[in-house]
Amino acid sequence: MDKYKIVITQRAFSDLSECVLFVNAVSKEAAKKLHLEIIESIRSLETLPEVHPYIDGLVIANSKIRRMIIHNGRYFIIYKVEKDIVMIYDILDSRKDNSILKL
C-alpha cells in the first residue's frame, strides 16, 4: 500500500493548539487524549486519505477539499489530496460557526 506524505499548514497547527488548550481548561487528561486522537487521525491519512467525503462546492487550488469527522462529530480535519500529498488545512471545532464546512 502506498503512503502519502502529510503536510500540515501553520493554520492547522494553530487550530490544533486552540482545540487542545480549550479542553485543557477543563481537563488535562482529556486534552492529552484529544491531542493523541487528532494526531492519530491525521496519521491515518497516510494510507487511506480518499476514504473521507468531499465538501460539496469547496475547492482550493483546483482541488476538491475533504472533511474527516472525529471525536464523535465534534472536530473536523479539513484537507486535500493531490498526487502523493495530503495537505491539512484546518482542524475545526464543530461547535463554532464553520457553516460552510457543515454541509
Q: How do residues 61-96 score in pLDDT, each as one tens digit?
A: 677 899 999 999 999 999 999 999 999 999 999 887
At 7 the pLDDT is 98
Supply the range of the domain harboring residue 74. 5-101
Tell me the per-residue pLDDT of 13-57, one tens digit each, with 9 for 90 and over: 999 999 999 999 999 999 999 999 999 999 999 999 999 998 877
Q: Are strands 5-8 and 85-93 parallel, antiparallel or unpaired?
A: parallel
- Please report where in the chains the cell 495530503 appears, as a residue: 86
CATH number of the domain to which 95 belongs: 3.30.2310.20
Count of domains observed in the chain: 1
**pLDDT grade for 100, boundaries at 50, 70 and 90:** very low
At 96 the pLDDT is 76
